[in-house]
Structure 1
Amino acid sequence: MPTSPTSRRRISRLVVSAAGTALLLSSGTSLAHAAEPHWSDADAVRFWTPERMASATDPARPAQPAGPPSPARPTAAAAAAMPTAQHTPGLRSVGTIFSFTTDPTTDRMRAHKCSASVVESPGHDLILTAGHCDGGKAVFVPMYTSAYPLDKQPFGFYRISRWYADNRYVHGTKKPVSDLDFAFGRLEPSESGAQAQDVVGANKLVRTPGYLNKVTMVGYPSSHNPKDQAVRCPAQTEALPGFYQIQAKCRGMWGGVSGGPWFSAVDWSKGTGTIIGNVGGYNGGGNDADVDWLTYSPMYGDWFFRLYEEAKSDHPTSHGTSYQQPPLPYSMGDGETWSHARLLASGEYTGDGKGDLIVVWTDGEVTLYTGDGNGGFTGERRLAAPNGTWKNVKSLTGGDFSGGTGSDLLAVFGSGEVRLFPDVGTKGLAGGTGLAGSGSVWKNAAQITAGGFGTGGYVTDLLVRWSDGEVTDYTGVGDKGFGTEHRLQKPNATWKGATLLAAGQFTGGDRWDTLVRWSDGRVSQFQDTGPGGLGDQHTMSSAGSVWSQDSVMTAGGYDPDGRPDDLVVRRSDGETGMYAHTGATFGTESMLVAPQ
């Protein structure tokens, strides 16, 4: 198996087991279908005794006994940092589905249990769950409480009279049609005549914004749950490669949580919130090889909202016989991969006026991420395969040194060699111009960063922090040499503790500013750095702060204004984010890569 970062980013490490038993819909069935007729609230109460309710299981995430760790389990460090689902009394708008249907092969009654949530509808009578949870004679119990029988539940129970599911979905599948694992159920009024939404409220459904989201998952595990209570877990989502789905890591998401909502916002006092996903999708939403910590959700796009509208209007329409995935949002990969990002360099490498990012990985691979001009990226391109040469690069920076249409890359190698690679977005990394040879004084250069430090409108100046703490500014650097050197700091112990440098136009002056992350975690900003000095120093973060986890950083112009004041940071756990419009304080943070 390839081991390069690019290969790792393109491999979905999913260990799967056989899908659980489920009711199947053929590709030709109607979108909506009625629940089994000839039963009443009284029938439900008689059948769903407390014992049967306690023994119900999820059809696609079957309960499995705890066993030895599977090969898919995370490392000890990653597991320790992973959130764990916590018991909660629940939300009044979220509950369980109990259903039973006749098994034609044995003529016995078969039960399963899933989670569901009440969602906004004109009739005040719709729930959302997973597609693999529909079918059969079913009841929805909001804020299910195991201490009470069905007819004594705090918010009652509601029979499901009609199901709405995409006819192309196949239960338990590991194929792209698992993107369609969502369904709606229409509820009958309670015995008192009340509609569910009027009793418990309703949740708002919105499009899944993208792959990276902060969510709170809520559901009712039917195994490994002695308290038989709801659980909730705050989690970070990321892409499920190759699928129009997201995934989240949280221990304790056992069978029974299928269909449970993923909230982007929730008001626990009101019992409702905004939903952007539900447990479902690949392999029925998880439980691969008895793994309780990796859970999936379909993304809510056009097909989801088409089904939602059809359910609200009770106007089912067949969605055809085949499913073609929509264009998948671009994903930069995961935290495990990005923990190997060793060096970053910002610039307009493609010459389109939008900020791009070059990454040097620990194995020597070099990739170029193309910016979209809105604080994100649209794709990646390999500039160099894993190799020994780029493994030996000590520091690098982007700049306008050669006068071409795109940014150039200046690299300092451990041997003391310095090479300038002009217009790398179009010319690549072949050759380059040597500015210093192996064994030169540049073997003592610890860090470099380019900027406009007072010599004009182009990024042609170079700030260097030497291993003995000396700091120098080279103005007018080009393909003919390093220009003019200016000493800004004599060798000193303080600057020996500077671990990271980044330059940008943070405070709006003609000269760029310099950010320094010190070994104790402090971050300082030196405003208006130039040939005459580093500028005024301001503290942005104190010692021991979260910035002690900052492993690599660079600054560039990644949003529409093009101003180089957007700070990109890779932390020790692989999480990579952008602080847009950084000034005297850090700007607005957005996540580019979720932590491992």
Structure 2
Amino acid sequence: MDLIVVWDDGEVTLYQGGDGDDPAHPFTAEHQLAKPKSIWDKALAVTGVGTGTGSGGAGLVVRWVDGEMALYTSVDAKGFHGEKQLAPPKSAAWRDDARLLVAGRFTPGGRRDDLLVDWKDGHVSVFTDLTVNGLKKQTQLVAKNTAWTYADQLTTGSFTGKGTDDLVVRWRDGETTLYPGLTAGKALPGEIKVRPAKSNWADATVVTAGAFTANGAADDLLVRWADGHVSLFPAVDAKGLHAEVRLAPAS
């Protein structure tokens, strides 16, 4: 899989995935999609979606600082294509109430174009089939609560072999949990603890999942830490983490 990075200064970089078997070198090329000082410094959240269009059917959902929500139906080395507005600027819910969001496959047999959102009051909902429904079909998974206000990072992958994606949550205190085979319309599945509370994962500032190693499964976790170093944890499963490969040093 490819990796898209949005930098603080608005630059956007696409790291092209490779076919090699060395986990220390998961990417083969780097493509600049947007230059520094671009509009992308206004992007609050970015998550990859499967849209069924373009090469591999890979697109992006972007939440902008003014509350606009946008879907790019495909992204490649030449840039962003097929922009569709999911919510207009100044949409109060997306500007003021949404906290974290991540795309995944939460409907059996569907595309990887469902969107899970953690809101400021702690409730969690899923918007299914974005490419067809936009943001019109919402299902609440978790009612208003205080626990989910402490979630700091969300990512999805295929760690347990279920028919739908697994959700990984890194909590503020460093605890990291995996919810296997999350399905829209049902309660959260029983959690699997990947890291305990007060672990060093409290220093993980960005967590994302993907197929970054030779087995081709989206069961690898990539982490950027507070000191700037970047780690890859290959082949994560229900038993947790098994190895750490450092991709970039501290800065």
Q: TM-score by structure 1 length?
A: 0.39
* Identity score, percent: 36
Match of 1:556 in 2: 210
Q: CA deviation at 1:506?
A: 0.8
On the 8 A contact 1:473/1:530 being kept in 2, the answer is no
Q: CA deviation at 1:415?
A: 1.2
On the 8 A contact 1:401/1:479 being kept in 2, the answer is no
Seen in structure 2, the aligned counterparts of structure 1 residues 565 and 483 have a Cα distance that, compared at 3 Å, is farther
Match of 1:393 in 2: 43
Q: CA deviation at 1:424?
A: 1.0
> Alignment partner of 2:191: what SS?
strand
Match of 1:371 in 2: 17
Seen in structure 2, the aligned counterparts of structure 1 residues 480 and 473 have a Cα distance that, compared at 3 Å, is closer
Equivalent residue for 2:153, pick from 483, 494, 500: 500
The correspondence of residues 253-292 of structure 1 with structure 2, limited to 5 A, is: none
Q: Aligned letter for 2:166?
A: D
On the 8 A contact 2:73/2:81 being kept in 1, the answer is no
Write the distance in 1 (CA, Å) between the matches of 2:242 and 2:18: 19
**Greater Rg over alpha carbons, structure:** 1
In structure 2, the gaps of 5 or more residues are none
Equivalent residue for 1:589, pick from 234, 244, 247: 244
Q: CA deviation at 1:480?
A: 5.5
Write the distance in 1 (CA, Å) between the matches of 2:82 and 2:181: 35
The correspondence of residues 22-421 of structure 1 with structure 2, limited to 5 A, is: 355-373=1-19, 374=21, 375=23, 376-406=26-56, 407-421=58-72
Seen in structure 2, the aligned counterparts of structure 1 residues 426 and 366 have a Cα distance that, compared at 3 Å, is closer
> Alignment partner of 1:423: what SS?
strand
Equivalent residue for 2:140, pick from 487, 494, 497: 487
Write the distance in 2 (CA, Å) between the matches of 1:388 and 1:404: 24
Runs of 4+ in 1 over 3 A off after TM superposition: none
Write the distance in 2 (CA, Å) between the matches of 1:543 and 1:378: 36
Seen in structure 2, the aligned counterparts of structure 1 residues 467 and 402 have a Cα distance that, compared at 3 Å, is farther
Q: Aligned letter for 1:576?
A: V
Q: CA deviation at 1:455?
A: 3.4
Seen in structure 2, the aligned counterparts of structure 1 residues 384 and 431 have a Cα distance that, compared at 3 Å, is farther
Match of 1:153 in 2: none
Q: Aligned letter for 2:2?
A: D
On the 8 A contact 2:236/2:242 being kept in 1, the answer is yes
Q: Aligned letter for 2:243?
A: T
Q: CA deviation at 1:447?
A: 1.3
Could you say what the CA RMSD is over the residues aligned between the two structures, in angstroms?
A: 1.7
Write the distance in 1 (CA, Å) between the matches of 2:132 and 2:165: 22
Q: CA deviation at 1:508?
A: 0.8
Write the distance in 1 (CA, Å) between the matches of 2:139 and 2:242: 31
> Alignment partner of 2:131: what SS?
coil
Q: TM-score by structure 2 length?
A: 0.90
Write the distance in 2 (CA, Å) between the matches of 1:507 and 1:430: 33
Write the distance in 2 (CA, Å) between the matches of 1:452 and 1:430: 22
Q: CA deviation at 1:558?
A: 1.4
Write the distance in 1 (CA, Å) between the matches of 2:72 and 2:242: 31
> Alignment partner of 1:442: what SS?
helix
Equivalent residue for 1:442, pick from 83, 94, 98: 94
Q: Aligned letter for 1:377?
A: F
On the 8 A contact 1:384/1:429 being kept in 2, the answer is no
Write the distance in 2 (CA, Å) between the matches of 1:539 and 1:579: 16
Write the distance in 1 (CA, Å) between the matches of 2:38 and 2:88: 18
Structure in which a larger fraction of residues adopt strand: 2
On the 8 A contact 1:395/1:411 being kept in 2, the answer is yes
Residue 513, structure 1, aligned to residue 159, structure 2: no
Q: Aligned letter for 1:547?
A: W
Q: CA deviation at 1:464?
A: 0.9
Q: CA deviation at 1:392?
A: 1.6
On the 8 A contact 2:11/2:37 being kept in 1, the answer is yes
Q: Deviations over 1:157-187 (max 9, x none)?
A: xxxxxxxxxxxxxxxxxxxxxxxxxxxxxxx
Q: CA deviation at 1:565?
A: 0.8
> Alignment partner of 2:139: what SS?
strand
Instruction: Give the number of aligned pairs.
Output: 242
